[in-house]
Amino acid sequence: MTKTASRIALASGALLLIVVVAAVVVLGQLGRLIERGVETAGPKITGTEVTLGSAHVSIFSGEGALKRLHVGNPEGFSGDRAFDLGRIAIAIDPKSVTSDVIRVRSVVIEAPQLLAEFDAAGGSNLDAIRANARAAARGGASADKDDSGTQARLIVDEFRFENAELRVLAPAFDLDKTLKLPPVVLKNLGARQGGAAASDIASQVLRPVVDAAIQAAMKEYLAAQRDKLGDKAKEKVLEKLFK
């Protein structure tokens, strides 16, 4: 091997080592970056407090989990959580973490718990969250930046929201009922535009989940309202009969 060839081989080896080290560093910090991103962008999308207990991603497989992700209730409602997502399984393509677009193979939210709470005027916490998410989408919720200050972009191959429970609460009509929600499955998020900001993908995911929850909750709310008003009408008729 000539001296020139040896230098090229050494340079190539050094470059490969740098790339590997960079990938390990990025993956090692990915959990912290996810936590920071969720707690920074989340409130701007939902208009409520958003907290994440922990996030961990394996530097070898790219698989990991987000734990204790909670979305609070909007102002004017109880102190209960609107979303209690517990544990979220994620799988990231490790080779993509040093590229311009991070590829997320899957996000699976299993057995989440949601709350649909109606106030005395008939407004709901989920309506307030949905309205804020729409406003954030129109205004372009804050860009998600990595440590270099560039906007992080993602492609999510598959998102699954499964075995969800929805508690419907309307004290004015004595309604407190828990329902099962149908699964929400979304694919190729951000793929069409070659990668999307995490906040954009979060809005795309939140919309069908909240829409399904509101639809199911409104059905129960209207039924409870009819029953309550019907009972009051019956009471008035009986009062007149027995005067």
Dump pLDDT digits (tens) for 195-240.
998 878 888 898 999 999 999 999 999 999 988 887 665 555 445 4
User: Within 10 Å of residue 234's Cβ, how many Cβ atoms?
Assistant: 10
Q: What's residue 143's pLDDT?
A: 45
Q: What is this structure's pTM?
A: 0.78
Element (H, E) at 17: helix 3-46
**Surface-to-core class of residue 30, CB atoms within 10 Å of its CB (0-12 exposed, 13-18 middle, 19+ buried):** buried
pLDDT average per 10 residues of sequence, the chain (243 residues):
50 38 44 72 89 84 89 93 90 86 92 95 93 81 51 88 96 95 95 89 89 95 88 52 43
Q: Is residue 200 within 8 Å of 190, Cβ to Cβ?
A: yes
* Residue-number span of the structural domain to which 210 is assigned: 3-241
The model's pLDDT over 31-45, given as tens digits with 9 standing for 90+, comes to 666 777 777 888 888
Instruction: Report the domain count for the chain.
Output: 1
